[in-house]
A and B are shown apart, each in its own frame.
Chain A
Amino acid sequence: QVQLQESGPGLVKPSETLSLTCTVSDDSISRYYWSWIRQPPGKGLEWIGYIYYKGSTIYNPSLRSRVTISVDTSKNQFSLKLSSVTAADTAIYYCARTPAGPPYNYMDVWGKGTTVTVSS
């Protein structure tokens, strides 16, 4: 059964770049779309963006200037980079499999999430 696992630093300093990787197991990343979603403490879900396995991306307009999502099909991984972070970027970050883009855009398999705190 397909599994997703986020990895990366749990603490990032303000103004630096947050970098996370999602490793996909028991499924090929060379299908589907792959998404990043985050959830600030005590708040709701926020869609960050997704990447198609061929490399095309779509980002949340509010984060577009700071976000880069990339894919490494040889490692069955995709990654998130968020630059110039502030305390407002503190959240649980989830990666998820997205079987189809719009008009569907649902996430059918989620990672367990990783907590990232932005603090000096």
Chain B
Amino acid sequence: QSVLTQPPSVSAAPGQKVTISCSGSTSNIGNNYVSWYQQLPGTAPKLLISQNNRRPSGIPDRFSGSKSGTSATLDITGLQTGDEADYYCGTWDSSLGGVFGTGTKVTVL
């Protein structure tokens, strides 16, 4: 049971947009930066977004992150079949240390 809540699944057709939410509290998201990770089936997680909205080199601008108050959002535009994966948000919690969200499975219809 994570302190960061994500929808279990989201889906959309190729080319469309999906939005994944990550809800927390003032103990975590409200006072710390949020990162996002993509985990393709059978592989290790990969950093997509750091510091709320920064993309590492090599990450397409189809992926964007934002934060407002105690919630964060990952948007994926121009959805592709290769985007089918599990997505996790992460941040720091003042009591728990590092925390991850519950995870969201993205399905391309």
Contact = CB atoms under 8 A, between A and B. Distances in A.
Interface of A: 35, 37, 44-47, 49-50, 58-61, 94, 101-113
13 contacts: A35-B98, A37-B98, A37-B100, A45-B103, A49-B97, A49-B98, A60-B97, A102-B92, A105-B33, A105-B35, A106-B90, A107-B37, A111-B44
Given A45-B100, A45-B103, A60-B97, A105 B91 contact: yes
Contacts of A105: 32-33, 35, 90-92, 98
B16 to A, nearest CB: 25
Contact of B47 (A59, A103, A108, A111): A108
Nearest to B34: A106
B26 interface: no
Interface of B: 2, 31-33, 35, 37, 43-47, 50-51, 56, 88, 90-92, 95-103
A107 B99 contact: no
B47 A107 contact: yes
B44 A106 contact: no
